């Protein structure tokens, strides 16, 4: 304890020099009753303006959130409708492919039966040529019909989404849609 007291004493005796100018401390002036009253009014006005801004912001946010929610529901419904259309077309395409496979198997069995009954090599070659011609023409016809069905399916699948986009972006919809998806137009 004695050392602490001694250090404190030594420090109290030391002189501190500073080059900073010294100024006298100003005494705060007493506020008048009127200035105190003006500060209270200003605080209430500020609080009222802040409350008005908050309410305006909140109502704008709520309106935008409701509009966004409505558009999100429309987009979801359009997507669901689009997927249902695509599913229906895929089921039709699958059924058509199964019918084509069944028909080709029937034709192959008929071909094997006919070629086994051929009486000469020339007749066998004629039967084989007819079979391959029918097979090729049948596949080409199915390819054309599948391509047309695919275009129609894409057109019908894109329609709900385009309706949703037209609702969101106006009558023009997404202007670049026709450039990227020419099948969307008839």
pLDDT in tens, the chain (186 residues): 444 444 444 444 444 444 445 555 555 555 554 555 566 677 778 888 888 888 888 887 877 778 788 878 888 888 888 888 888 888 988 898 999 999 999 999 999 999 999 999 999 999 999 999 999 999 999 999 989 888 888 888 888 777 777 776 655 545 544 554 455 555
Examine residue 132 and state whether it is found in any structural domain, yes or no. yes
Examine residue 46 and state whether it is found in any structural domain, yes or no. no
Examine residue 30 and state whether it is found in any structural domain, yes or no. no
DSSP secondary structure code for residue 176 in this structure? T
The backbone region for 170, taken as left when phi is positive above 0, alpha when psi lies in -120 to 50, beta otherwise, is left
Examine residue 90 and state whether it is found in any structural domain, yes or no. yes
Tokens 């007819």 — which residue?
Answer: 130
Examine residue 89 and state whether it is found in any structural domain, yes or no. yes
Q: How many CB atoms lie within 10 A of CB 167?
A: 15
**28-59 per-position pLDDT tens digit:** 555 554 555 566 677 778 888 888 888 888 88
pLDDT at res. 17: 46
pTM of this structure: 0.48
Examine residue 48 and state whether it is found in any structural domain, yes or no. no
Q: Cβ(167)–Cβ(74) under 8 Å?
A: yes
Examine residue 4 and state whether it is found in any structural domain, yes or no. no
Q: Cβ(161)–Cβ(83) under 8 Å?
A: no
Q: Cβ(146)–Cβ(137) under 8 Å?
A: no
Total domains, the chain: 1
Exposed e or buried b per residue across 64-100, where buried means at least 16 C-beta atoms within 10 angstroms of its C-beta: eeeeeeeeeebbeebeebbeebeeebeeeeeeeeeeb
Examine residue 54 and state whether it is found in any structural domain, yes or no. no
Range of the domain at 167: 65-184
């Amino acid at each position: 304890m004695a050392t602490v007291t001694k250090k404190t004493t030594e420090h109290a005796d030391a002189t501190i020099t500073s080059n900073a100018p010294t100024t006298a401390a100003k005494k705060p002036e007493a506020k008048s009753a009127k200035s105190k009253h003006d500060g209270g009014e200003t605080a209430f006005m500020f609080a009222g303006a802040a409350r008005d801004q908050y309410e305006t912001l909140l109502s704008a946010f709520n309106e935008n959130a409701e509009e966004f929610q409505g558009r999100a529901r429309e987009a979801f419904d359009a997507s669901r409708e689009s997927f249902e259309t695509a599913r229906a077309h895929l089921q039709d395409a699958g059924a058509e492919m199964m019918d084509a496979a069944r028909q080709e198997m029937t034709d192959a069995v008929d071909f094997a039966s006919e070629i086994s009954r051929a009486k000469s090599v020339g007749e066998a070659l004629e039967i084989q040529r007819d079979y391959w011609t029918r097979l090729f023409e049948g596949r080409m016809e199915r390819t054309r019909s599948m391509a047309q069905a695919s275009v129609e399916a894409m057109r019908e699948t894109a329609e709900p989404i385009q309706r949703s986009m037209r609702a969101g972006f106006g009558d023009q919809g997404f202007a670049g849609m026709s450039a990227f998806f020419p099948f969307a137009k008839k």
